[in-house]
Amino acid sequence: MPPCTLTLPTSACLFDAMPALSSSLFSSGESPSILMPLTLIAMKGHPATGKSTVAEALARRLRIPLIDKDDIKDHVLDLPDANERAYSVMWRIVETQLDLGLSVIAVSPLSYPESYARAQEIAAQHAARLLVVETVLDEAEWRRRLDARQPGYSTHKISGWAAMQEMLRRYNGCWQYPIAAEHPLQLNTAQPLDQLVDAVLAQLAISR
């Protein structure tokens, strides 16, 4: 089954309903994270599609922890298998948050089916619901964002359209794996950030 895709500009009825949906979940003065069921939000998407921007805004709105794989990779880059180590540490910290009864956002490309399977496993072990939020862009805007990244701005993050195409060639479509129908939400991040966050909140309210 294809992922639940929200085309934000044309989904007027959904956005008209969002205030009611989000207010039903976040109507009291308590922290929103206290009011929603234990949840693992796993971001998914290629570099420069807005994963971190959406995740950070969502973490602020919900007041829940955010664990970014790249933050960890920054500190293990000189070690063998740095990417695998960064994923392992990220998932372990995610587990700790869920052990504490805290919903959590995990930020990574989630490019491989093994990563999604790990998110499923962790959510199931902690009786938490799983929402996979995938960020996408049309090619022209995605290319513009990648080319706007200054060469050498990061030791391990992709910059430039040509480098991105080479990475996709190596990936050989591995990111196009099936996701359970109840898990995915796809966002076109060319839309305003507040609307993107509201879309996630609406999905969380719907899937309570």
CATH number at residue 76: 3.40.50.300
Cα-based distances in Å from 141 to 49, 50, 73, 171? 9, 11, 27, 21
- How far is Cα 6 from Cα 200, in angstroms, rounded to an integer? 10
Helix (H, G, I), strand (E, B) or coil at 133: strand
Q: Tokens 């609406």 correspond to what residue?
A: 202
- How far is Cα 33 from Cα 35, in angstroms, rounded to an integer? 5
Cβ neighbours around 44 below 10 Å, total: 27
Per residue in 102-137, pLDDT tens? Answer: 999 999 999 999 999 999 999 999 999 999 999 999
Residue type, 15: F
Q: What is the dihedral of CA 84, 85, 91, 97, to 10 degrees?
A: -160
CB 77 within 8 A of CB 156: yes
Q: Any idea which of 62-76, 92-106, 125-139 has the lowest mean pLDDT?
A: 62-76
In this prediction, residue 73 carries a pLDDT of: 87
> Which tokens sit at 49?
């599609």
The answer on pLDDT for 14 being more than 60 is: no
In this prediction, residue 16 carries a pLDDT of: 44
- How far is Cα 92 from Cα 112, in angstroms, rounded to an integer? 18
In this prediction, residue 159 carries a pLDDT of: 79
The answer on pLDDT for 36 being more than 90 is: no
In this prediction, residue 180 carries a pLDDT of: 95
- How far is Cα 204 from Cα 208, in angstroms, rounded to an integer? 6
In this prediction, residue 199 carries a pLDDT of: 97
In this prediction, residue 152 carries a pLDDT of: 59
Average pLDDT, the chain: 85
Q: What's the rounded mean pLDDT across residues 70-97?
A: 90
- How far is Cα 56 from Cα 20, in angstroms, rounded to an integer? 23
Per residue in 139-193, pLDDT tens? Answer: 999 999 999 987 655 556 787 898 888 988 998 989 999 999 999 999 999 999 9
β-strand partners of 195: none
In this prediction, residue 140 carries a pLDDT of: 94
Q: Which residues contact 32 (CB under 8 A, 6 or more apart)?
A: 25, 26, 61, 62, 63
Per residue in 81-91, pLDDT tens? Answer: 888 999 999 99
Domain hosting residue 145, numbered range: 4-206
Q: What's the structural domain count of the chain?
A: 1
pTM: predicted TM-score of the whole model, two decimal places: 0.81
